[in-house]
Amino acid sequence: MGNERLLNWVTACAGILGVLGAVGTLPLGDVKLSYSIALGAGIAVLNLFLLRRLGRRMVAGLMAAPGTPTDRGKTTALFLLKFVLLIGGLWLLFEVVPLNALGMLGGLSTLVLAVLMGTLFGPAPAPEEAQAE
């Protein structure tokens, strides 16, 4: 895929922002806030990683020649399972672990900031990739 470098950059940037947010809030004295931010950022990075893998499989299935057996149904089922596990896992985390809701939301939001930073400061596509699009 043409944007792998940019997606790698965004993933790494989201992880770094999560670590900075978690460590940066430690001086406030609220450990629950810090680990909520770290947990939210970790979930966001893992979700992006899984979305990238499943997206590649879906695109490969769509680009296959007619008559070629593909696993589009299996990939779609995995995508839906990932979504249900994400929502169920977040619900379970809030029920079992004492979390700061705003900290968790801040950690999950690191991905939005990372996408913005990737758009502004991330690597540009290679010249041959830019011509192909």
How many CB atoms are closer than 10 A to CB 100?
Answer: 20
44 occurs within a structural domain: yes
133 occurs within a structural domain: no
Residues 6+ apart with CB under 8 A from 102: 33, 36
- Look up the domain containing 103 and give its range: 4-125
| Residue 107 confidence (pLDDT) | 93
Q: Identify the three-state secondary structure at position 98.
A: coil
| Mean pLDDT, rounded, for 100-104 | 92
Radius of gyration of the chain (CA): 18
Phi and psi (nearest 5°) for 63? -85, -5
Higher-confidence position of 66 and 80: 80
| Residue 82 confidence (pLDDT) | 92
- Six-digit token string for 82: 């990932």
Q: Please tell me the distance from the alpha carbon of residue 120 to that of residue 33, in angstroms, as a whole number.
A: 29
* pLDDT higher than threshold 60 for residue 131: no
Q: How many domains does one find in the chain? A: 1
pLDDT single digits (tens) 9-64: 899 999 999 999 999 999 988 899 999 999 999 999 999 999 988 888 888 777 76
- Average pLDDT, rounded, for the chain: 85
36 occurs within a structural domain: yes
130 occurs within a structural domain: no
**Which pTM was predicted?**
0.81
Q: Please tell me the distance from the alpha carbon of residue 86 to that of residue 93, in angstroms, as a whole number.
A: 10
26 occurs within a structural domain: yes
% pLDDT > 70, the chain: 86
Helix residue spans in 1-30 (DSSP H): 4-24
131 occurs within a structural domain: no
